[in-house]
Amino acid sequence: MSIDLSGLSAKELEALINQAKKRKTQLSKRKSAAAVRRKVLALLKAEGYTLAELFGGAARAPAAPRKAAAKPGKARKGGKVPPKYRNPDDPAQTWAGRGVPPRWLAALLAQGRKLEEFLIK
C-alpha cells in the first residue's frame, strides 16, 4: 500500500500519524482470529450446538461462487435498442447501429451512399 504524503501539510501529517497510532493500539489489543474461533467453537460445543445450527449452512462458510468468464465469441445480452437506420427500399428492414451492418446496408454503402442517408428521423 502506498500513500502519497508529498501533498500533506505538517498538521495533516501529524493527524495521520495520530490516527495510525490509535489503529495500531486497537489492533495490538485484539486476540488472534484463531484464538477467538477456538473460543467460539468451545462455547458452541459446551452448549450442545453446531455452527451450522446457529448460523445455517456449513461450519465454514464457502467463498462466494465466481461468475464464469465470458466465453469468446459470446456477447453479453443487453436490452433491446431502438432502430437508428432504415432501408428506404424496404421500410421493414432496420438496424440499431450495433454489431455487423446488415447486408442491405453494406450493399448500399458499397454503391457510394452515405450512412446518414438512412437515419430514422
Contact 42, 50 (CB under 8 A): no
pLDDT at 73 over 90: no
Distance CA 22, CA 29 (A): 11
Question: pLDDT band at 121, cuts 50/70/90?
Answer: confident
Average confidence (pLDDT) over 18-46 = 92
Structural domain boundaries in the chain: 10-55, 85-118
Residue appearing with cell numbers 498538521: 11
* Confidence at residue 63, expressed as pLDDT on a 0 to 100 scale: 60
Question: pLDDT band at 25, cuts 50/70/90?
Answer: very high
The DSSP code for 86 is: E
Distance CA 74, CA 98 (A): 15
Distance CA 86, CA 19 (A): 63
Average confidence (pLDDT) over 115-121 = 91
